[in-house]
Each structure stands twice: as C-alpha cells, then as structure tokens.
Chains A and B, each alone.
Chain A
Amino acid sequence: MIVKFKKIILVGAVAIACLSQPILAADKIKIGVISILEGAFASLGQDGVRGAELAFKEAGGKVAGMDVEIIVMSSDASPDSAVNAARKLIDHDNVDIIIGPLSGSEGIALRDLSKGNKGVTFVNGSSAAQDATFREGSDNFFRFGGDGAQWMAGVGTYAFEELGYKKVAVVAEDYSFPYTQVLGFMSEYCAAGGRVPKKFWTPIGTKDYSSVVYSIPDDVDAIFVALGGADAVNFLTQYDQAGGDKPIIGGTITIDQSILDSKGPFKKLLIGAPAGTPTVSDYEGKEWKEFTASYLSNFPEGMTSPTIFAHHYYMAGKAVLLGLEQVDGDLSNQHKALRASLNNLEFVTPTGGTMRLDENRNGIIDNFVTEVYEREDGSLGNRVLKLVSNVNQTMGQDPTAFRAIGAVSRENPSCP
C-alpha cells in the first residue's frame, strides 16, 4: 500500500506540474478564428479562414505595433462545437478577440456565450441568422456582414415587378439561416403584392426530394429555393428529371459558384435565375478586383475567386484590425475603447461599399441582385443586375413594424 501511495503522489505531482501554466506577458494580440473545418462544409470553412488570414497578411501580421497571433479552431456546423471551440480559445489560449463562426445557429450560440465573456470581443464571420444581433443582442458581439435577410434585399421586388411572378413556392432547409433568407425574400415580395401559397421546409441533408417536387402547386410562377450544397444539387436534379420547368429564384448559397460548377443537366434550370447576395465572384468593381488579386496571390491553392465566406471573414478581420489600430491596441476595461471604435467604424468593403454598424452592432450592407448566366465557355456565372445600397437589418422598413413580425420561424412570415 505504501508503495502504491508513493506512486500515486508521484503521478499526481507530475500531473500537477504538467497542468500548471506559465502566465504570458501581453505584448501581442491573440485572435481566435472559428470556422467549419470538418464534414461537408470543410472546403467552405477553409475559405473563411483564408479570408481572415488575408486581412492579417495585408496588415503585415502586426497591429498597433504589436504582433498578431492567430489561432484557428474548427467547429462542425453544430452550435455545441462552436461553443467548445470558443471556450478553448478563451480559457486555454487566452485570446482577446474571436472571429467566427460560419453558420447560422453557431452564431446564435456564440452570441449567447459572449454575454458571459465580456473580456473577449466577438466578431461574427459569415453566420447570418437574424436573431444573432436583432434579438437578445450582446454588446460584445459584432457582425459586419449583415444577416441572411439583408442578403436577399432587392430580390422580392425584382421578382414581382420585373419578372412578374405573382405566386411563388418556397423550398428551403429547416433551420435558422434559411428562415432568415425566406424572411428577407418574403418581406419585400409580399409587400409588393406577391403571394407564397406553400413553403416546404426540408431537413438538411435530405437526399430524395421527389415527393416535394411533385407537391409543388401547379399554379405558382416560380420556386424560391434556399438550399445549400448537396441539397440544392439534389433538389434541382430531381426537379429537372421530373420535367419541372418553373423558373428558379435562388437563395444566397443556392447560386454559389460551387453549385454552378457542379456537373449535371439541372444547371439549365438555373440560367436566368435571380438571387440575392453580398458577394458576386466575378464582380467588375475596382475594389473587388483588387481583393480577388490579393486573395489569389496569397492563396494559390485556394478557390478560383474568393467565396462569400472568404469575403465575410476578411471583413471581420479587417474591422478588427482597424478597430485595434484606432485604439492603439488598448484592450483595458473589457475592451471598452475597442468596442466603441468598432461601433463607429466605417471602412470601404471589397465590393466598394461603406461598411458601418447599426445600433444592434449589425452591418449595414450593400447587396446585389444577381442573375445566373451562361459564360462563353458554357460554364455558369453570376452577373449583377442591381445594386441595393445601405440595406439595414429591417430591410428599410420601419423598425417597430419589422420587429412586430416576430422571430423568424417556419410559419413566420406568411402570405399565402
């Protein structure tokens, strides 16, 4: 027993020695980046990380005379994993600022986490659920890229007025981001006089949409599709195979370049499809060309042009750098100065607009109404139809009225 006792004490002592940590001197800024680096969204998440890294590379890896250390953590699209990643960054790596996350529900989770971690400033990556800032906002959680509803600005009006679609059916995934996108589309579309008789909320990862395809009412003029990745490919393929010929209106990630680059006869359905997005990969603007060139030279292994994720993580990184520069790296008093400077920040975005925050710490953005077109080589791309400037979170509507619509859900909004 005594031998055993000694052994245990020894093991315990070694363990304690291993566990104790040296306290680091604060002569550098630590920034954590959370993105999805595993599972189906991994390649998108990697592009998000590239965006953030690009911002810091352009700044020479320094801000306000201090070194910037970047620590990347992976989540897996689940709110739980995003929170775990953030906890590790906060408690273990002692980061000052967190950039991320990528997807809707993760953003809501980090906003809640931020409330209990006032010593850290959270800058959202590309997560676009409305509620992350609009309801129950947190004063150390900032979002420069806007939400999924803002990303649809202009589309509803365009569909009703320019394309003359009187009735539209909705097919969308069943979680917070598509809810927000549908809200963005419908709030304009319904106000313009359009009707949405039927909404299909399908579980994410649904493979077989055939029964949804056949349930779409015959009398609608178009289908608003807010599906991402494989879901979009599957739905469109099956719709095409079933002989479907209604025009498509795309959600922001439905007309993503990765889907336009996928192979299959379904693509002809997409030609001419309008969509809303804050990021157009082959936008002709000067700032965007510079941004793309910088992206390509820094990441030759990256995508052929920056995705919406790279774009938004880049803006987050840029905002952080500008804010830190303004306050000269002063993070005292729970980042009070930095927060104030972020709230008042104005800078030129890669799409040439001016980024600034509203009172909910949510970006007022420039949004594009785009159209899928066939390039000369037969591949598909997006071209800009319309630029909608200064889109705020209430889509230009009266804030009180907008808020009265209530939190987005499967049933809300509704205009059958």
Chain B
Amino acid sequence: MKLFFIVFLNGLTLASLYFITACGFTLIFGLMRTVNMAHGVLLLLGAYIGYEVVEMTGFWVLGIIAGGLSCALVGAFLQAFILGRYQGDELRQTLITIAISIILADFLLWAWGGLTYQISLPEMLQGGIRLPLLNVGYSVVRLTLIGMAIVVGVLLWLLIAKTKLGIIIRAGVDDREMLQALGFEIKKIFIIVFAMGAALAGMAGVIFGSALSISPGTDIQFLLSSLVVVIVGGMGSVGGAALGALLIGLAEQYGLAYAPTYGVVFTFLIMVTVLAFRPQGILGRAEQ
C-alpha cells in the first residue's frame, strides 16, 4: 500500500515534468498546426546550454533562462527563415522539422559528445527529505517539479486567457484566416509563438537535465513522450496536455513498479485506446 502511494507521487512528479516538456509542443501545434518534430532536439539544446551556463556561473536559474532564451532564438530563426515560408503546408513543415532535428541532433553530439550530463541543482533543491506520512525519503527536486508545473501551467493560462497576445492566439486556434483578415501580422505572431514554444522546450530541458539527466537519445524520448501526452490529452490544448501528462506519468510509473517489462507499452496502449474512442484526444476539439 505504501508503494502504491509512493508510485502515485512518482507518477505525479513525472507527469509534472512531462507537462512542462509537452507545453511548448502543444502550444505550437495548437496555434500553427505545425507538428514540431524538432521539439525534442530543442529540449536537448536548451539542456546543454543550461548546463554550460550553470557550470560557468553557478546559478541554476540563470541556466534555465539561458536554455530558454537560446532555444527561443533558434526557434524564431527556424520559423522566420525556414518554416514560415511553408505555413499551411503541414506535411512539408513536418518533414522540415524532421530534417532539422536530424541535423541539430548530430551537431549536439559533435559539440557535447555522447556523455551523460547532469545539471547541478542549487543547494536547497539537492538531496532528499523524509516524507511525513509515508516515512520514506523523497527527492526535493521531484517535489519541486509539481510546483514548477503549476507555475508554468498558470503562467501559460494567464498568458492565453488574459493578455492581448493570448486573445490573438486563441482566435488563431479557432480561425487562422480571421486573424489575417483582421490585419494582424500573422507572420510575426507565428514567430513569437514558435519562439515561445521553443523557449518552453529549452527551459524544460534544463529542468529535465537537473531532475534526471540528459544524453544523446533524450531528444527522441521526449519528442515521443510529448507526442503521446498531446495526443492523449487533446492536440493544442494546455489543459489537455496537463491531463495527458498525468495519465501517462501515472501509467508509466505504475507500469515500472508493478510490471517493469511492459511499462513503456502501457503508455502507448492508453494512447491507442484513447484514439480508438476519441480521435481528437480527451480534451481536444474534433478535427475538421
């Protein structure tokens, strides 16, 4: 029984991490209908840069900012000079992001090698504490993840629900042509959104590299997990990403604890089941 609750907590913390990493993916998809297959590699890039900055300055928060900013720049560049040209041609955009992810992943391997990196946490987040009721040790940084996910979720919600940019984004999710008709510079908005999505990926990378670790291959794992989270929760919906992350995180941890061999498969089974009954995802709107 104790194990059951701990695994629940593990699932919750992993879900937080998944949510943070999937946010950028779902944001870009929601507004722009771009399946950003380079999401995972952006995450890895952010993590490496965050690592360097933390090593150099010793400030963890600075690492997160640097990881986010550098990815935002790369994302903005991609959207402005490569992807933006093919807005609306979704297949071609997908292929381009695949090509970019192959190139960038190889570049990262060249620049940072095949070693495993762990980003040093600030003193207060290191190590573990004893959980009161369950009487087991638990990693501080994992508990913090829940808070981070809530912060990211709330900020994103505020941004989308309360700011002018958010209103434009929501309008864009519903009707892209309308935005254009209303005279918004849709190109600029797309660049901003893509940069934001990429920044989220970069920051998620730093957080991920601190809580767990990063190495070549992490990019693919996280692209896939983001994909599954977003498919299950509903494509393009932040709430859906949260729900999807929760389901997948719990499934993965219960799988790992009770049936380690097929843990990974559970994740995908959930997805296939959701798809069979609700192709647009649990909270997604129907495709048209």
Chain A nearest Cβ from B66, distance in angstroms: 18
Given A40-B216, A42-B114, A214-B10, CB of A202 within 8 Å of CB of B256: yes
Counting chain B residues whose Cβ lies within 8 A of the other chain, the interface size class is 35 or more
- A41's nearest neighbour on chain B, judged by CB, is B114
Given known pairs A242-B136, A242-B138, A243-B130, the reply for A212 and B215 (CB within 8 Å) is no
Of the listed residues B13, B116, B216, B257, the one surrounded by the most CB atoms of chain A closer than 10 A to its CB is B116
Task: Provide the residues of chain B in CB contact with A209, threshold 8 Å.
Answer: 256
Q: Are A265 and B126 CB-contacts (below 8 A) given A40-B114, A203-B263?
A: yes
Instruction: Flag A30-52 by CB within 8 Å of B: 1 or 0 each.
Output: 00000000111111100000000
User: 11 additional contacts, CB 8 Å, given A210-B13, A215-B3, A234-B212?
Assistant: A39-B109, A207-B221, A208-B252, A210-B142, A211-B253, A211-B257, A212-B256, A241-B127, A241-B137, A242-B138, A259-B116
Q: Residue B253 contacts which of A38, A39, A208, A229 (CB distance < 8 angstroms)?
A: A208
**Residue among B3, B127, B214 making CB contact with A214, cutoff 8 Å:** B3
Q: A200: CB under 8 A from chain B?
A: yes
B221 x A205 contact (CB < 8 A) = yes
B116 → chain A closest CB, angstroms: 4
Could you tell me if A39 and B256 are in contact, using CB atoms closer than 8 angstroms? no
Verify A410–B261 contact, CB threshold 8 A: yes
> In the assembled complex, which residues on chain A have CB atoms less than 8 Å from the CB atom of B118?
233, 237, 262-264
Q: Which residues of B contact A291 (CB under 8 A)?
A: none
Q: Does B120 interact with chain A (Cβ within 8 Å)? A: yes
Interface size class of A (residues with CB under 8 A): 35 or more
Contact, CB under 8 Å: A39 / B137: no
Measured in the bound complex, the distance between the Cα atoms of B10 and A242 in whole Å is 11
Q: Is the CB of B213 within 8 A of A210?
A: no
Q: How far is the CA of A241 from the CA of B257 in the complex (A)?
A: 18
Q: Closest CB-CB distance, A213 to chain B, in whole Å?
A: 9
Shortest CB distance A376–B (Å) = 23
Q: Which residues of chain B come closer than 8 Å to A244, judged between CB atoms?
A: 137
- Is B253 in contact with A243, judged by CB distance below 8 angstroms? no
CB distance from B133 to the nearest CB of A (A): 14
**Bound complex: CA A263 to CA B116 (Å):** 10
Cα separation A234 to B210 with both chains bound (whole Å): 11
Contact of A241 with B141 in the complex, beta carbons under 8 Å:
yes
Among B3, B120, B213, B216, point to the contact of A42 (Cβ < 8 A): B216
